[in-house]
Amino acid sequence: MEMLRRNLLRLFTLMFAGALFAAPANAVVEIDINKGNVEPLPIAVTDFLQGELAQKISDVVAADLKRSGLFAPVDKGAFIEKIANPDAAPRFEDWKVINAQALVIGRVTQEGDGRLKAEFRLWDTFAGQQMLGQQFYTQPENWRRVAHIIADAIYERITGEKGYFDTRIVYVAESGPKNARKRQLAIMDQDGFNARALTNSNDIVLTPRFSPNRQEITYMSFENQQPRVYLLQLETGQREVVGNFPGMTFAPRFSPDGQRVIMSLQQEGNANIYTMDLRSRTTTRLTNTAAIDTSPSYSPDGARVVFESDRGGKQQLYVMGADGSGQTRISFGDGSYSTPVWSPRGDLIAFTKQSGGKFSIGVMKPDGSGERILTTGFHNEGPTWAPNGRVLMFFRQNAGAGGPQLYSIDLTGYNEQQIQTQGFASDPAWSPLME
């Protein structure tokens, strides 16, 4: 299936036709996402012409934009103008009266060779000018991906930053009774659709993480009762053991260049952090303590590493150089801190915090300042960043619930949503943008 998917994506020519009309320099619709609490922008996403598949594409575009928390799609029941010709300018007064500050119209047609041609235009209704126009060609089975790419283009044009809708999530899918839970690796689109299993065994799997090249993940498995770190090629399904170590290996994660894996190795009751060069298979030890050092995560430039350690008596966050130098504690709040992960933007570190019998997901600056809690609950854990560094996904188990579920939340802390999955789900990892 993955090879078929990749072949289809290679056929996805993404023939970006540029602006169908030049984007005006004086368009006024924009969102300042650096503000603390952003008021969602009213946007009208009309049903694309022509047919059921066209409408499905526009529905996914609207759902993506709404889920970001930055856009408020206008109820279609309020629309006055019915778009009949996507090539003509809309009646702007009809859209201004319902406060649709931006308008998306589009059309989907089938080419003679069977491909779909999807095109859209983004209008600034108050300026009365087009902001963006693009068209794409793809195979019909890739229609959902076309919708995500269109939503990304709209997001970027209005916010000035890359979107995150054309991405995938790898996670641990959990099923069965609590005392005999089966855990498999699974992958899905960021909105929960197109889910499929990557492994099919009764061995416990944990902490899957994407490679920067998007087509490889690393994870830990207790196969044959031996905890080991594996590499899995998404395209071929081929996998290999990263290395055979005398103790437990866990919490693996790729370096930003994809050439190394950083992980924690447990030996004789303590755990230290090591890196392995994937080309030479040589390992380098970065920490050397009698404590438990684990959950390492590189900064996006690869120069530093954040990790958790109980060397001070309870779990706290530390930052060090990529060579292990300058190990410095950065968390000093009440409670314990764990599962740190550096933002793709480099400006924040996300973490799990346990305090007062509750688990929180929060962020802080790399020097430990500016700590901010985004959400608190019975059990929240395992944050992972969207590639634009504006949204986090994590897993939550509520009191009395049968198992964990995935949730997303943006940096304002106001836009929290559950991601629907088949069965229980934990340990999410967000992919980079697809190509």
- What pLDDT sits at residue 246? 62
> 147 phi and psi, to 5 degrees?
-60, -45
How many CB atoms within 10 Å of residue 215?
A: 17
Q: Among 296, 108, 301, which Cα is nearest to 212's?
A: 301
Task: Taking residues 411-418, report their average pLDDT.
Answer: 93
Q: What is the mean pLDDT of the chain?
A: 89
What pLDDT score was predicted for residue 187? Answer: 96
Question: Predicted confidence band at 28 (pLDDT cuts at 50, 70, 90)?
Answer: low
Q: Are 394 and 381 in contact (CB under 8 A)?
A: yes
- pLDDT confidence tier of residue 1, bands split at 50, 70 and 90: very low
Read off the pLDDT of residues 65-92 as tens digits, 9 standing for 90 and up. 999 999 999 999 999 999 999 999 999 9
Task: List pLDDT tens digits, range 309-365.
Answer: 999 999 999 999 999 999 999 999 999 999 999 999 999 999 999 999 999 999 999
Q: Above 70 in pLDDT, residue 13?
A: no
State how far the Cα of 357 lies from the Cα of 310, in Å rounded to an integer. Answer: 19
Average pLDDT over residues 95-101: 97
Give the model's pLDDT for residue 14: 34
Residues in the chain: 435
pLDDT, one tens digit per residue, over 295-311 is 999 999 999 999 999 99
Range in 94-98, 180-184, 412-416, 421-425 with the lowest mean pLDDT: 180-184
Q: How many Cα neighbours within 13 Å face the side chain of 7?
A: 5
pLDDT of residue 298: 98
CATH 2.120.10.30 holds for 166-428? yes
What would the mean pLDDT of 400-421 be, rounded to a whole number?
92
> Which pLDDT score, from 0 to 100, does residue 3 have?
31
Q: Answer yes or no: is pLDDT of 435 > 90.
A: no
Which runs of consecutive H residues, i.e. helices, occur in 79-180? 92-96, 143-159
Is the pLDDT higher at 108 or at 51? 108
Q: What is the amino acid identity at position 59?
A: D
pLDDT for residue 119 = 97
What's the pLDDT score for residue 94? 98
| Residue 87 contacts residue 93 (beta carbons within 8 Å) | no
Report domain extents, the chain: 40-157, 166-428
**Model confidence at 11: pLDDT above 70:** no
CATH of domain 40-157: 3.40.50.10070
Which candidate, 23, 58, 43, places its Cα nearest to that of 132?
23
Contact 229, 212 (CB under 8 A): no
- DSSP code of 66? H
pLDDT tier, 6 (very low <50, low <70, confident <90, very high otherwise):
very low
pLDDT at 20: 38
pLDDT higher for 341 or 269? 341
3-state helix, strand, coil in the chain (%, to 5): 15, 40, 45
Q: What is the pLDDT of residue 355?
A: 95
pLDDT digits (tens, 9 = 90+) for 360-382: 999 999 999 999 999 999 999 99
pLDDT digits (tens, 9 = 90+) for 115-168: 999 999 999 999 999 999 999 999 999 999 999 999 999 999 999 999 999 999
What confidence category does residue 21 fall into, taking pLDDT thresholds of 50, 70 and 90? very low
Say yes or no to pLDDT of 113 above 60: yes
Kindly report, residue by residue over 205-255, the tens digit of the pLDDT: 988 999 987 789 989 888 877 778 889 999 889 998 886 666 667 788 999
Burial string for 414-425 (b: 16+ CB within 10 Å, else e) reads ebbbebebeebb
